[in-house]
């Protein structure tokens, strides 16, 4: 039974990984990664780490993948060009990947870990359950736990700074200007008169407020 | 199943992720391949934790998950910022920082 589950999980994980690399549409790559993460959760369960399997499904396949799906839907699907800037890239990269796999496998299997061929020692039924992990996290690894929380806070603030749009539009600042003008126009859209033609709205935004009928009505 | 199988599978997944990073040019897919490599590392950590028989490797894997989530958030924020500035979403064309 364990062998069947292992090979099912391994096939799912490997197929998902190959799917992520091989799919042309990024949306399908995200879906393949979800398959990969669920299969990895099965493998984590086989390695008797129940809490990590649950966290894998909830955090990764739930939250992180939803974020990916949103971003892929936002930036659109097919951006990859057929143009190949480095000659032989599509041929050399799989060869390098195979070389990396062979190297890693030799490095691990030729190591002197005596327990590598076993299934590991017998463990108690509470091995890897939330209580044990939480105890370790709050007793022995308290400082990494706090550092991780600070890192999460920093990442959240950084994402807001990176992806949030600026309210103040300063003209003549390079490539950021068109998008800022676009957002400024979208913001002024509900407040302004909707019957205005769009070119007049842009003109009233950029130029000084003159005696035009657009600024008079607003 | 012996621990060897898990370790070999983990190195195979890592190699697939590295190949994806070398082949693909879309930043979103490169982030996905980074996820593959981090998850392969997680699998190796958990397999070694099972081999030794204590749970500290699982705590490491949990911290790796946190770091991966942070990396995803910042990377996707960068991608959204690149898209808003109407720059091409292609790592071979975004080469202004290249020496």
Chain A positions in Cβ-Cβ contact with residue B38 (cut-off 8 Å):
none
Per the CB < 8 A criterion, the answer to whether A162 and B81 are in contact is yes
Interval A115-130: pLDDT, tens: 677 777 777 777 888 8
Kindly tell me the burial class for residue A173, based on how many C-beta atoms sit within 10 Å of its own C-beta (0-12, 13-18, 19 or more).
exposed
pTM: 0.78
Give the model's confidence band at A166: pLDDT under 50 very low, under 70 low, under 90 confident, else very high: low
pLDDT higher than 70, residue A179: no
pLDDT > 90: percent of chain B: 49
For the domain spanning B3-84, the CATH number is 1.10.287.3510
| B37 reaches A (C-beta below 8 A) | no
Contact across the interface for B9 and A17, Cβ inside 8 Å: no
State whether residue B9 sits within 8 Å of chain A by CB: yes
Is the CB of A6 less than 8 angstroms away from the CB of B39?
no
If contacts are CB pairs under 8 Å, which of residues 51-80 in chain B contact chain A? 51-53, 55-56, 58-59, 61-63, 65-74, 76-80
Q: Is B13 in CB contact (< 8 Å) with chain A?
A: yes
Q: How far is CA A152 from CA A7, A109, A197, B59, in A?
A: 35, 36, 45, 16
The alpha-carbon gap from B64 to the nearest alpha carbon of chain A, in Å, equals 9
Where are the domains positioned within chain B?
3-84
What is the per-residue pLDDT for B64? 92
Q: Give yes or no for A65 touching B (CB within 8 A).
A: no
Tell me the C-alpha distance between B95 and A135, whole Å: 47
Query: Does the beta-carbon distance from A117 to B4 stay under 8 Å?
Result: yes
Q: How far is A211 from chain B (nearest CA, A)?
A: 33
Q: Is the pLDDT of residue A163 over 80?
A: no
Please give the Cα distance from B84 to A11 (Å, whole number): 38
User: What is the tens place of the pLDDT at every residue in A15-62?
Assistant: 999 999 988 888 999 999 999 999 999 999 998 889 999 999 998 888
Q: In 3D, which of B18, B70, B14 has the Cα closest to residue B42?
A: B14
Residues A82 and A195: their CA atoms lie apart, in Å, by 44
Contact yes or no for A32/B30 (Cβ under 8 A): no
Which chain B residues are closer than 8 Å to A85 by Cβ? 92
- Does B42 reach chain A within 8 Å, measured CB to CB? yes
For A74-89, the pLDDT digits (tens) are 887 665 665 666 777 7
Q: How much is the mean pLDDT over chain A? A: 77
Taking 80 as the threshold, does the pLDDT of residue A184 lie above it?
no
- Name the percent of chain A lying above pLDDT 70: 70
Report whether A104 contacts B15 (CB < 8 A): yes
Q: Mutate which of A35, A97, A98, A152 to test chain B, going by most B C-beta atoms within 10 A?
A: A97
The residue among A217 and A8 whose pLDDT is bigger is A8
Predicted confidence at residue A167, as pLDDT, reads 60
Question: So what's the pLDDT on residue A180?
Answer: 47
Residue A58: left (phi > 0), alpha (psi -120 to 50), or beta? alpha
Mean pLDDT of A121-143: 86
pLDDT tens per residue across all 99 residues of chain B: 788 889 999 999 999 999 999 888 888 999 999 999 999 999 999 999 988 888 888 999 999 999 999 999 999 988 888 888 888 787 877 777 776
Mean of the pLDDT values across residues A108-114? Answer: 77
Cα A53 to Cα A38: distance, rounded to the nearest angstrom? 9
Best A47, A64, A140 member to test B by mutation, with max B CBs in 10 Å, is A47
For residue A10, what pLDDT band results from cuts at 50, 70 and 90?
very high
- Rounded to whole angstroms, the Cα distance separating A31 from A167 reads 35
- 3-state SS assignment for residue B87: coil
Across the interface, whether the CB atoms of A128 and B81 are under 8 A apart is answered: no
**DSSP-assigned states of every residue in chain A:** -HHHHHHHHHHHHHHHHHHHHH-SSHHHHHHHHHHHHHHHHHHHHHTT-HHHHHHIIIIIIIIIHHHHHHHHHHH-S----S--SSTTHHHHHHHHHHHHHHHHHHHHHTS--GGGGS------TTTT-HHHHHHHHHHTSHHHHHHHHHHHHHHHHHHHHHHSPPSS--SS-GGGHHHHHHHHHHHHHHHS-TTS-HHHHHHHHHS---S-HHHHH-
Segment A139-155 mean pLDDT: 92
How high is the pLDDT of residue B41?
Answer: 94
Percentage of residues in chain B with pLDDT exceeding 70? 99
- Domains of chain A listed by start with CATH number: 1-78+127-140 (1.20.120.1200), 143-167+176-189 (no CATH)
Stretch 122-141 of chain A: residues touching chain B, C-beta under 8 Å:
123, 127-128, 132-133, 136-137, 140-141
* Contact assessment for residue A124 and residue B54, using Cβ atoms and an 8 Å cutoff: no
């Amino acid at each position: 039974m364990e062998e069947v589950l292992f090979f099912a999980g391994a096939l799912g994980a490997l197929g998902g990984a190959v799917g992520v690399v091989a799919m042309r549409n990024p949306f399908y790559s995200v879906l393949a990664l979800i398959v990969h993460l669920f299969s990895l959760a099965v493998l984590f369960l086989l390695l008797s780490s129940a809490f990590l399997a649950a966290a894998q499904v909830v955090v990764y396949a739930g939250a992180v993948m939803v974020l990916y799906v949103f971003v892929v839907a936002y930036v659109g699907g097919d951006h990859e060009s057929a143009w190949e800037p480095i000659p032989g890239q599509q041929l050399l990269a799989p060869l390098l990947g195979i070389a990396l796999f062979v190297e890693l496998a030799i490095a691990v299997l030729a190591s002197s870990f005596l327990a590598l061929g076993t299934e590991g020692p017998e463990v108690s039924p509470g091995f890897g359950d939330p209580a044990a992990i939480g105890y370790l996290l709050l007793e022995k690894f308290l400082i990494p736990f706090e550092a991780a929380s600070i890192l999460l806070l920093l990442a959240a603030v950084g994402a807001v700074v990176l992806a949030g749009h600026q309210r103040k539009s300063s003209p003549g600042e390079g490539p950021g200007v068109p998008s800022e003008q676009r957002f400024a126009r979208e913001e002024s859209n509900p407040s302004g008169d909707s019957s205005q033609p769009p070119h007049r709205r842009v003109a009233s935004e950029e130029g000084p407020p003159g005696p035009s009928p657009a600024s008079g009505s607003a | 199943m012996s621990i060897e199988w898990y370790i070999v599978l983990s190195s195979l997944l890592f190699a697939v992720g590295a190949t994806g990073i070398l082949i693909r040019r879309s930043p979103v897919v490169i982030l996905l391949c980074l996820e593959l490599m981090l998850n392969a590392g997680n699998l190796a950590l958990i397999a070694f934790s099972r081999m030794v028989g204590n749970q500290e490797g699982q705590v490491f894997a949990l911290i790796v998950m946190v770091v991966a989530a942070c990396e995803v958030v910042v990377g996707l924020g960068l991608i959204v910022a690149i898209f808003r500035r109407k720059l091409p979403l292609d790592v071979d064309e975004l080469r202004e920082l290249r020496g």
